[in-house]
Amino acid sequence: MKSVTVELPNVDVQRKLFTTRFKADKTSHLSIRDVDVCRECKDKPCLWFCPAEVYKWEDERITIAFEGCLECGTCRIGCPFDNIDWRYPRGGFGVQYKFG
Ligand code: SF4
Ligand code: SF4
């Protein structure tokens, strides 16, 4: 069988994210429902699946840098314990996509 070599594009995600602009609200549109559930969550996948690295594990709890949320919705389904309360930012706030 003939082998095929596919060259993947070299994409620098951090550089692309740098071009995104946000209008941050004062209050977060994301929250953790039960902090104790996070302590028991062994793998903490939210630290990995968020493309904007919004979730961090600091001082025995998850912190949320909601200002950088891209509103992709991954954390709505990615938390194995449905422990993230997710909603869109209020109208006029959040990510400002160039093409709508
Ligand atoms: Fe908490 Fe869900 Fe993150 Fe686990 S994946 S640490 S339960 S928010
Ligand atoms: Fe991260 Fe997407 Fe969830 Fe925003 S919606 S916190 S970008 S995974």
**Segment 27-40, tens digit of pLDDT:** 999 999 999 999 99
Beta carbon of 38 within 6 Å of any ligand 1 atom: yes
Ligand minimally distant from the alpha carbon of residue 53: 2
Can you tell me the distance from the alpha carbon of 30 to that of 100, in angstroms, rounded to the nearest whole number? 22
98 C-alpha to ligand 2 centroid (Å):
18
71 C-alpha to ligand 1 centroid (Å):
17
Q: Which atom of ligand 2 is nearest to the CA of 70?
A: 7
**Segment 61-75, tens digit of pLDDT:** 999 999 999 999 999
Alpha-carbon torsion angle 23, 18, 71, 11, nearest 10: 170
Ligand minimally distant from the alpha carbon of residue 28: 2
pLDDT cut 70: percent of the chain above it: 97
pLDDT at 1 over 80: no
The protein residue with its alpha carbon nearest to ligand 1, atom 2, reads 79
- This prediction has a pTM of 0.83
